[in-house]
Amino acid sequence: MSRSDPAVIRIKPYHYIHILDNNKNVTRVEFGPQTFTRQDHEQLVSGPDAMIMIPPRHYCIIQNPVARDEEGHVVRDNLGQIKIKHGDEEIRFEQEPFPLYPGEKLYGKVSPLQVVAPNTALRLRCIRDFKDGKVSRVAGDEWLFEGPGTYIPRVELQVVEIVKAIIIKPNQALRLRARKEFTDKSGVKRRAGEEWLVREVGAFLPSVEEEVVQTISAYVLTDKKAIHLQATKTFTDVFGKERKAGEEWLVTIDDAETHIPDVYENVIGEVKITTLTSRQYAVILDPVGDDGKPQMGRRVLKKGEATFFLRPGERLESGIQSVHVLDSDEALLLRARESFKDGDKSRSPGDRWMIYGPSDYVPPVEVEILEKRKAIALDENEGIYVRDLKTGRVRAVTGQTYMLSPYEELWEKDLPQVVEDLISKERQSGPEGRGPVTSPQPTKGRTKTRVVTYRTPHNAAVQIYDYKSKKARVIFGPELVMLGPDEHFTVLSLSGDKPKRPHVIKALHLFLGPDFMTDIVIVETADHARLSLKLSYNWSFEVNKETDSEKIFSVPDFVGDSCKAIASRVRGAVAAVSFDHFHKHSAEIIRRAVFGVDEGDKIRNRFAFSANNLVITNVDIQSVEPVDQRTRDALQKSVQLAIEITTKSQEASAKHEAERREQEARGRLERQKITDEAEAEKARKDLLELQAQSATVEASGQATAEARARAAAAAIEGEAAVKQAQLQAEANKIKAQSDLEQTKAKQDAEINHQKALNELEVNKARDLSSIEAKKFKDVVDAIGADTIKSIAQAGPEMQAKLLQGLGLKGFLITDGNSPINLFNTAGGLIGGVNQTQN
């Protein structure tokens, strides 16, 4: 027993308390309204608490509910303790307020019943076996409670989720999958995992056995678009046709305006319509026959104007092609794919023929177009290489307009890379370019089927070798070289650089000269002095163009051979003389060694090579330098010493001459100085005389000018003062006249204004007096003369009667604040007395 528990407990209506009887250890419920007196062995467990009230359309969940008998009374045990269902729940709906018995608990709060809207449903799951009307439910069963309606909860059921209906719009379908085997709303048996479409427009509420996979939109088909479908398994489509697994087909606008792919239809893609104009055609490969099966290997020609869809498996050969329009100089090379009849001619497979313009041509499926050819216009210096396909013979055609025959083709002539580079360089720099070709450059612009042409420069020769006839021909410039199919250029590989190195210069033509070449030769004198000689040779070819033209090309490298021969002669000649002798007579020694001497011991003027008719006509010694460093230093010192001696001698002579010239210039300067001083003194004298005269004139002129200026200034000031006084008088006169006129105008304006005001006041007073007179007359006329008389007499008569009643002869009433004029009062009173006496 708690000491804080009250002994008397007042329980309000619809309230209750829990009382524990400590003697029996039983808890009971006491309801209000009452005043409960607690005994000593009783204890207040809880309360007072308000009873639970469930309004209409509400419910609550009671945990551990009390057990009740068939009549609804609470069941107690033999000790009087209320029995409860431990771990159970009970849902109670609208009823009278009720208390919670000991052990009962309210789960949550009183909640409104759930209203299921239209196009929605509650997915229910059975958590314990029970009988729902005539239907027996087993734990784990699921079903839908579809709206509209009010869901009455049960303890045996659990709300899994709220299912909303899916709106299927026009041109849409719902793809469903069966969760388990069942029979759907349309009466069709479905197996677990099976998929199907619902196409009916409107709200669709899937059952618990149905799973929504996706919403499928329809493909809108037009006259320019179709869809390509493929069957994933054998089935019958919406058009009633049986489709085999893997079969492909098209759905066009001829079948339906819109199409929703079935679950067993895989959309490969959209197919655009193929349109052919009147100047187009197309070849369809592997066309689909009337039975819907592809005809493999066949080809069908479609000519414009036409529109069609490519069916599955069909494809266009080279796409949409334009009709071949041939000009008068064009032709088509054709080849037969198979045997067919071309007009009156029978064509066999492999036959080649040509269609010439002007015309247009659409090839049938039995014909293959190899190429389009055009007549090649050739000038006299142009040509092409043509190869006969039957014989293999290659020929050059030049100087005409040529159209290849069906069994002819253009032949490409390949040249060595060095020749290609030289021809390309010749086109870039001109035929006179003779620079060395050190690295190959890409050839640009040369068409290999064109006849190779080369412009031979002036005073040059080109050798061409025919490998078929095994003959060579030499062409002298200026001339245009045209190579035959089996001809090639002879490439010259000449030595170059200083000293000469082999294979430096590559060339197709050989200059005949005269020209020069330079070489550096190392020689050694008899006293073992090594010298480096830089020699330049003038050369030319002496050739007879009719008899020995090929002789100039007999030596592959005439530069290297001639330089070696000359160098050997020079070395031999220099080796026999000393350095000092060679230094003094180098030109004679070298020329004698190169050209030799005749019978008269005279130096010849030429050195000829009989192998190729090369002639050396002159030798120029450009420089002689010692190779040995010590010799070079000694020679340099001697040269420097000689130069120094010559320089000093020249400096001394120049110095002496400069001193002589300086003395002469100094004397002339002194004489000129004395002459200039005399002239200056004479000029100074003249200047002083002129200055004196100028001062005299200046003094007299200044006095005269000042007097005249003062007189003129006084006259000007007087005239200005007179003029100013006249102007001032005129200004005052004008100002006074203007002030007078202004005052006069102002007074006239005021007089006129006052006249107008006076007239207005007079008119106003006249009008007011007229109005008052008329008003007074109207009032008098309205009241009447008798009435006015009565009014006038009513006041004095009443006063007289009042005074008579009061016994007063007269009276005066004042408030003491307003002053009263009593000067006339006595007169009045006296007058009144007089009147009374009278």
Q: pLDDT tier at 819 (50, 70, 90 boundaries)?
A: low
Of the two residues 392 and 791, the one the predictor is more confident about is 392
pLDDT at 623 over 70: yes
Residues 812-828 have a mean pLDDT of: 57
Residues with Cβ within 8 Å of 30's Cβ and at least 6 positions away in sequence, in order, are 11, 16, 17, 19, 36
| Residue 635, phi then psi, degrees to nearest 5 | -60, -40
How far is residue 105's CA from residue 18's CA, in Å, rounded to a whole number? 13
Which residue is it, tokens 């100087």?
399
- Three-state SS at 145: strand
User: pLDDT tens digits for 24-44?
Assistant: 888 888 888 999 888 888 888
How far is residue 552's CA from residue 197's CA, in Å, rounded to a whole number? 97
**Lowest mean pLDDT segment, chosen from 122-131, 542-551, 799-808:** 799-808
How far is residue 214's CA from residue 204's CA, in Å, rounded to a whole number? 13
Listed as own residue / partner, the contacts of 780-784 with beta carbons closer than 8 Å and 24 or more positions apart are none
Q: What angle do CA 385, 391, 393 make, to 5 degrees?
A: 30
How far is residue 10's CA from residue 499's CA, in Å, rounded to a whole number? 140
Which residue, 459, 464, 461, 427, is CA-closest to 443?
427
Instruction: Note the pLDDT of residue 464.
Output: 92
Of the two residues 336 and 830, the one the predictor is more confident about is 336
User: pLDDT tens digits for 272-281?
Assistant: 999 999 999 9
Write a three-state SS string for 487-541. EEECCEEEEECCCCEEEEEEECEEECCCEEEEEEEEEECCCCCEEEEEEEEEEEE
C-alpha distances (whole Å) from 284 to each of 322, 369, 721 are 15, 16, 124
How far is residue 526's CA from residue 751's CA, in Å, rounded to a whole number? 152
198 burial level (CB within 10 Å; 0-12, 13-18, 19+): buried
Instruction: Note the pLDDT of residue 227.
Output: 93
Instruction: Note the pLDDT of residue 208.
Output: 87
Instruction: Note the pLDDT of residue 228.
Output: 92
- What is residue 373's DSSP assignment? E
How far is residue 269's CA from residue 227's CA, in Å, rounded to a whole number? 6
How far is residue 713's CA from residue 234's CA, in Å, rounded to a whole number? 138
Strands 42-50 and 15-21: antiparallel
The answer to pTM > 0.85 is: no
Average pLDDT, the chain: 86
Task: Write out the DSSP string of 166-221.
Answer: EEE-TTEEEEEEESSSEE-TTS-EE-TT-EEEE--SEEE---TTEEEEEEEEPEEP
Number of H helices, E strands in the chain: 7, 61
User: pLDDT tens digits for 576-616?
Assistant: 998 888 888 888 889 888 888 888 888 888 888 988 889 99
Residues with Cβ within 8 Å of 96's Cβ and at least 6 positions away in sequence, in order, are none
Residues 807-812 have a mean pLDDT of: 60
How far is residue 251's CA from residue 260's CA, in Å, rounded to a whole number? 10
**Lowest mean pLDDT segment, chosen from 94-103, 146-155, 445-454, 822-831:** 822-831
User: pLDDT tens digits for 13-26?
Assistant: 999 999 998 888 88
User: pLDDT tens digits for 398-453?
Assistant: 999 999 999 999 999 999 998 888 888 877 765 444 444 444 444 456 889 999 99
